[in-house]
Amino acid sequence: MTQAPVTYARQGEIALICIDNPPVNAIGHPVRAGLVVALDQFAADPAARLGVLYCAGRSFIAGADIREFGAPPRAPFLPDVIAQLEALDKPVLAVLHGTALGGGLELALGAHYRLGLPGVKLGLPETTLGIIPGAGGTQRLPRLTGLHPALEIMTSARQVAADEALALGILDALAPGTDPRAAGLEMGGRLLAQDAGPRRVSAMPAPEIDPEALRNLRASVAARFKGQIAQMTAIDVTVSGAGLPFADGIHLERAAFLRLVDSPQRAALVHAFLAERKVAHLPDLQGVSPRAVEQIGVIGGGRMGSGIAVAALLAGLDVTLLERDTASAAAAQASVAQTLEDSVRRGKLTGDARARILSDQFRTTNDYAALSDCDLVIEAVFEDMDTKRAVFTQLDQHCKPGAVLATNTSYLDIAQIAAVTRRPADVLGLHFFSPAHVMRLLEIVVPEGAAPDAVATGFVLGKRLRKVSVRAGVCDGFIGNRILQACRAAADHIVLMGANPYEVDRAITDFGFPMGPYAVQDLAGLDIGFFTRQRKAATRDPREVVARWGDVLHARGWLGRKTGQGYYLYDGPKPRPNPEVEAIIARERAARRISPRDFAPDEIIARYMAALVNEAARVVGEGIAMRPLDVDVTLLHGYGFPRWRGGPLHWADAQGLPVLLHQISGFAREDAYFWQPAPLLADLAARGTSFASLNDPG
């Protein structure tokens, strides 16, 4: 028989209400219903003078039950449970450990006293899901902390450490130890000795409002969360509620919460949240045991290789970095040491930990024999097939049997790289994004014939490095860079027809991307685009329209930020448009006999996003991405797609696939080669279904 998730017991005069709903005590319907019963028992128990509310397991309530996302709400509702708790005539002490987030913290705010255990973290992260706290959080938290600390906690969605929570008044005390039941009994006994009664947060004075500080906060939040609605709604509801009776403030909060629940942004953010949890769950790896990975090798000490090494070191792995000669190895050693020093300066690492990493976990070499004990080796050298094949020839000779050999290539055919080894089943792609110790995306590229346990090892490594790992098949650019090439081509076509690069960038950033395509090219270096065009030139279809002004910029040595000029000039505090670029583009238009026309931002977005979705549909249709959610996660974490739009294929479903297909067909009248509808997009639109239907086909 399954144990109830909420139990009631009593020790002397103290009632013990325990929530045990592993793994994180999510406050789903069974917990809410169980709490109602337990609170009724406490109220009716004449021998119980005080209640202790605590959780079993590793954490207090860590939030909502994700299984209820998108499902119709079921009574009892959390605000009603909290109101029942707060209204009790006998005091209740909540004991918090692990994390108390979202509805978990709101429940604790309904208790009359709050005790924290060491390491507890508290927060109201609802805005990350496009909603606001909906069970009293916007009204109770400010009464404890003051208005502005509460607004900062809610809009940032950050977790508050125990000491800060105590200083802010969220916690009444901190207790030593790790046993919430024992800590609750101890403090409960002291409260009984003091004859403490209920102390309701709802009865405390509303927070004062500083108009100037509020204006500054609004401006800061609006700039930081441009385009999003939950953060500003949280501010509005909290401030308005402070001027109302508590019950009216609760009503205002609930109405706003329910409006946001039905908003497209909430649907998008929940999709992104769930997709990140599904992306590494692959049917073909179920039951497959990964290989052990403790020692890794990295080939190449440039920006990418050094970043990979740092990511591995921070994850506790032993790293040997190989460079071509002694001087290059010394430079790589210095680069890694400096990056770790930057982590110390930012408070992410202690000086002692840095010293220990450099002395015990990390070494550089120029001898492949030093990699003989490595469990996994990642090659991160120049993007050239001959160079990479030469590296893998050496790895095949020196690495132990069973070692996973990985390439960080962004575009190249991994099967051709694997073919130079006697162990192609051990070869896969691990495509990191720069800077590798910061960017969360890791494309795990699986060539045909790769051993399942080698692939599983890649995912285990990604998890250890705290990456969001996405499986990708082999093609030019894999998932992300292949789609990016289509987007850049669409942007170039728009510019050829009359827009300027700065109008395109502005439209894309207004849509929600952090940078437009031309600013991104400047950041990456225009030499990257030049070499990509050169590499593809021999196989390019003559019908393809390719803009050539990038070659002109490259020939002039205008490579973007690293040379001080590219599409933009970098001669001041902010980049500014390079006036000569438009003249270069105008000459190309004239040579092609193109009469330029104006483009509204909406048309720029329509073309850019149609190209993105169309290419993404090809990527899914060809099996390069297993599911649409893999595309969404890739674009969210590697390419800056606005999270509050859910991902490009979630966005496409929201627009309607027939609408997008109709747009593409219209664009095809100008360029039938580029605007060929993806077969999968056409099929889904014809059947009246969605990309989402392919995420959970069972």
Active site residues: 106, 126
Environment class of residue 90 by beta-carbon count within 10 Å: exposed (0-12), middle (13-18) or buried (19+)? middle
CA 478 to chain centre: 20
List, in sequence order, every residue forming a beta bridge with 10; answer none if it has no partner: 15
- From residue 595, how far is each of 289, 501, 549 by CA, in Å? 61, 17, 17
- What 64-72 contacts at long range (C-beta under 8 Å, 24+ apart), as own/partner pairs, is 64/26, 64/27, 64/28, 64/102, 64/103, 65/26, 65/27, 65/28, 65/29, 65/31, 66/26, 66/273, 66/274, 66/277, 67/28, 68/28, 68/29, 69/270, 69/273, 69/274, 70/270
CA 290 to chain centre: 25
Helix (H, G, I), strand (E, B) or coil at 283: helix
Give alpha helix (H) positions in 514-647. 517-524, 526-537, 549-555, 579-592, 601-621, 628-638
Give CA–CA dist 653/661, Å, rounded: 12
Strand-strand pairing, 92-96 and 113-116 = parallel
Contact 227, 644 (CB under 8 A): yes
Q: The tokens 């930990």 sit on which residue?
A: 353
Tokens (6 digits) for 692: 């989402």
Tokens (6 digits) for 542: 């003559």
Give CA–CA dist 450/446, Å, rounded: 6
Phi, psi of 533 (to 5 degrees): -65, -40
Give CA–CA dist 446/626, Å, rounded: 11
Closest to 553 (Cα-Cα) out of 579, 534, 592, 526:
526
Contact 673, 316 (CB under 8 A): no
Strand-strand pairing, 113-116 and 160-161 = unpaired
Give CA–CA dist 187/164, Å, rounded: 20
Give CA–CA dist 620/482, Å, rounded: 12
- From residue 605, how far is each of 478, 487, 675, 695 by CA, in Å? 24, 11, 15, 26
Contact 455, 428 (CB under 8 A): yes
Give CA–CA dist 652/202, Å, rounded: 44
The set of residues, in sequence order, having a beta carbon less than 8 Å from that of 531 and lying 6+ positions away, is: 383
Residues found in the chain = 698
List, in sequence order, every residue forming a beta bridge with 173; answer none if it has no partner: 115
Give CA–CA dist 78/84, Å, rounded: 10
Contact 414, 455 (CB under 8 A): no
Tokens (6 digits) for 407: 């390439």
List, in sequence order, every residue forming a beta bridge with 126; answer none if it has no partner: none
Residue 622, Cβ neighbours under 10 Å: how many?
14
Interior/surface letters 530-541, b for 16+ CB within 10 angstroms, e for the rest = bbbbeeeeeeee
Closest to 427 (Cα-Cα) out of 392, 398, 459:
392
Instruction: Please give the sequence-ordered ranges of beta strands (E in DSSP) within 403-492, or none if there are none.
Output: 404-407, 427-432, 441-445, 468-472
